[in-house]
Chain A
Amino acid sequence: MEATSADREQWGSRIGFVLAAAGSAIGLGNIWRFPYLAGEGGGGAFVLIYLLCVVLIGMPYLYAELSLGRNSQRNPVGAIKSITGGGSAWILVGGFCVLAGFVILSYYSVVAGWAVGYAVKDIIAPTMGFQEFAASPGMVIALLGVFLLLTFLVVVGGVEEGIERWAKILLPILLVLILLIIFRAVTLDGALEGLTFYLVPDFSAITFDLVIAALGQAFFTLSLGMGAMITYGSYLPKREDIAISGAYVVVFNTLIALMAGLMIFPAIFAMGADPEAGPALVFVVLPKVFAQMPLGGLVSVLFFLLLSIAALTSSISLLEVVVSYFVDEQQWSRQKSVWLIGGVVFLMAIPSALSQGASGAFSDMSYLFGESGLFGQNNFLGILDYLIGTAGCGGPTLPPTSWWRGAVS
């Protein structure tokens, strides 16, 4: 027997929902990709186009997902089943959402584990460069395990006592960390140049590709198209104003992305690093920048802590999409769903964790796909990321397609 709507857990408050949904939307990509695109694309001009795309495309899409979730009170598969009456091929769309959540979590948690490791790097591996760090099997698997365990412990607590409660704790911490780092960054000598690069509009930098990038960022930054908002919407009570709550999610998500630029660019310019280092920025360039600045050690710890929190709030929603499917459709208990699915995710993540040099079999899969690799990728993590991020249902939602790839190549 399926769980009825009356049994379904609900968010305890609007702020709880907004923080949980914003946490889902704010991921690794917000901290790096948005400021990078903005800096590259004419600063304020890009932000303007992005905001237009968010309001005209992102918000209605978000509302559509939240409405579908609340109307059906189901996970993505159940939601589509309920509106089509079952037996429709459209159910596959919901199935892809669940599958995408499962697969993305398996490699997203590896990258998130690196962030956790970098937050405590001075203790666990003070002298290691990134290549050596990512190729240390014991370390990356342990960090992966720690990150996934944190995710499981939050999700197993349920909607109100787990996800909502932790969102209310983690998001304010994230905000404070960003403000602290912004304060340090903008008070550095030479920070003004970075602020100018980031904020002063340059409409001549706007190109067709950049408009598409702004559209992509707006479309995917809100965790759209992967079932997270259908699932989160299914926990909304009928009395909740979806339009207002959704608008808060959009505003909060955009605000964090804008603030991320304020913390990154002044520091990069002040320290003379390359603002267009792009994908390599997070794990290669920024640690070098932090090492040069006064109080850099502390800033580095704070930055990677906030990156870990951003990743955690996103991984929670990824796991919740899968868990809600098994709870709704297979009538598993939440505990059973979290630990069983979590165990499988952990096992599936190990090849990704070992694919950056720790294991030849997963790091160079040319023995299977030839020298040119599969879609140009030769390591396990890269192939999964390409399949899901570029070609698949999840879209470049999380690590917006392969942003980290340059960091490890």
Chain B
Amino acid sequence: MWGADSAANELVEGSSVMTQGLIDGWTFMMRYVIPVVVFGIVMGYVFGIL
């Protein structure tokens, strides 16, 4: 299944040495933080908090 690792691999292609050092951080955000935030926003709307 295509996921954060695949996105990270795609990010590495064409990237410079400088950005390669940051890709792990962005991959972490893609894998853990964004799903939590999106889920939180959806639930926020569902339960009328947002």
Contacts and interface: CB of A to CB of B under 8 A. Distances in A.
Interface of A: 56-57, 59-61, 63-64, 67-68, 70-71, 83-84, 212, 215, 219, 237-244, 391
Contacts of A243: 11, 15, 19, 22-23, 26
Interface of B is mostly: helix
A87 B37 CA distance: 27
A238 B14 contact: yes
Given A63-B11, A68-B7, 15 more contacts: A67-B7, A67-B11, A68-B10, A70-B10, A83-B1, A84-B2, A212-B50, A239-B14, A241-B14, A242-B11, A242-B15, A243-B15, A243-B19, A243-B22, A244-B19
Contacts of A59: 26, 29
A241 B19 contact: yes
Contacts of A242: 10-11, 14-15
A67 B14 contact: no
Interface string B1-16: 1101011101101111
A233 to B, nearest CB: 9
A57 B33 contact: yes
Interface in B13-50: 13-16, 19, 22-23, 26-27, 29-30, 33-34, 37, 41, 44-45, 50
A244 B26 CA distance: 13
Given A68-B2, A71-B2, A244-B19, A60 B34 contact: yes
Contacts of A60: 26-27, 29-30, 33-34
Contacts of A57: 29, 33-34, 37
Given A57-B34, A83-B6, A212-B50, A63 B14 contact: no
Given A71-B2, A83-B2, A241-B19, A64 B30 contact: yes
Nearest to A82: B2
**Nearest 4 A/B pairs, CB to CB:** A83-B2, A60-B29, A243-B19, A67-B10
Contacts of A240: 14
A238 B11 CA distance: 10
Contacts of B1: 83-84
B10 to A, nearest CB: 4
A64 B19 CA distance: 15
B17 to A, nearest CB: 11
Contact of B26 (A63, A71, A84, A215): A63
Contacts of A215: 37
B34 A61 contact: yes
A388 to B, nearest CB: 14
B14 A64 contact: no
Contacts of B50: 212
A60 B37 CA distance: 12
Name which of A63, A84, A237, A244 has the most chain B CB atoms within 10 A of its CB: A63
Nearest to B37: A57
A83 B7 CA distance: 11
A83 B8 CA distance: 15
A3 B15 CA distance: 27
Nearest to A233: B10
A242 B4 CA distance: 15
A238 B12 CA distance: 10
A176 to B, nearest CB: 31
Nearest to B31: A60
B18 to A, nearest CB: 8
Contacts of B45: 391
B36 to A, nearest CB: 10
A64 B6 CA distance: 9
A241 B15 contact: yes
